[in-house]
Amino acid sequence: MRGQLRMYLLLLPFVVVMLLLPVVEAGAAQQGEFSVLLDPAHGGEDKGVVNDSFQEKDLTLKLALLIREEAQKVSGLRIGLTRLLDKKVSTVERFKAIGTAKAGVLLSLHVNAGFGNRASGYEIYFPGFDNMKAENGDSRAIIKDMAKNKSLNDSVLLSQDMQAALETVFPRKSRGLRDAPCPLLTGSDIPGLVLEIGFATNPGDRKLVTEGGKQRAVARAIVRGLREYSLKAR
């Protein structure tokens, strides 16, 4: 008994460290697989949007886990997450996760709020094209600029596939594809999007995104969008 207790005490620091580290489960994609990194926004004391008992951090994690589950039913997709638990993950840790995962695309999952209680639907953000010109004709800067432009163009293509897929769950509820600065995607050379799934401040949207069947429908739609894009990207 004392031996087992001693072993548990020795292992405890390692368990604590593992819980504090960001989680990247995708690993390197195998031949024929397309790797996706999901970023469930917020976590821990960072609750995100709060409305009555609704907390954004809970829904983003639930959706990410459902997307991973649904993706397992589709050949060719490998899904990783920046967090698997209800814990805070800093922006720096999320950046590290992007580098570690070596994913083909990044999806950051959020829930919207604001504009009173009438605004509803979903929004898709991709990083902006501002300040993309290389300076002084530096060849290294030009090459880097070309890579960045490709990832941004691919982000637009991904956003179109994602919009078509989400339209099946939110018919005529798209609030458009939006070109806007995305802090987590800035500086990244992989295509990426921020998905705002519904408005927590809208009673209808809040009911929809918290209902189990609808959550799974959203997850399936996102997997369809990822699958469609992956077939073009290979």
DSSP the chain: -HHHHHHHHHHHHHHHHHHHSPP----SPPTT-EEEEEEE--BTTB--SEETTEEHHHHHHHHHHHHHHHHTTSTTEEEEES-SSS----HHHHHHHHHHHT-SEEEEEEEE--STTT--SEEEEE---TT-PPSTT-HHHHHHHHHHHHHHHHHHHHHHHHHHHHTTTSTT-EEEEEE---TTTTT--S-EEEEEEEETTSHHHHHHHHSHHHHHHHHHHHHHHHHHHHHHH-
Euclidean distance between CA atoms 15 and 164, whole angstroms: 42
Residue range 175-203: mean pLDDT, rounded: 87
Residue range 216-233: mean pLDDT, rounded: 95
Q: How do the domains of the chain map onto residue ranges?
A: 23-233
Residue 139 pLDDT? 38
Angle, alpha carbons 89-190-177 (nearest 5°): 90
pLDDT at 164 over 90: yes
Please tell me the class of the 23-233 domain: alpha beta
- Work out the pLDDT band at 2, boundaries 50, 70, 90: low
Judge if pTM exceeds 0.85.
no
- Work out the pLDDT band at 31, boundaries 50, 70, 90: low
pLDDT at 172 over 50: yes
pLDDT at 16 over 60: no
Query: What would the pLDDT profile of 119-162 be if each residue is shown by its tens digit?
Result: 999 999 988 755 444 444 443 443 355 456 788 889 999 999 99
Residue 190 pLDDT? 87
Residue 13 pLDDT? 44
Write down the mean pLDDT value for the chain. Answer: 82
Query: What would the pLDDT profile of 32-74 be if each residue is shown by its tens digit?
Result: 789 999 999 999 999 999 988 999 999 999 999 999 999 999 9
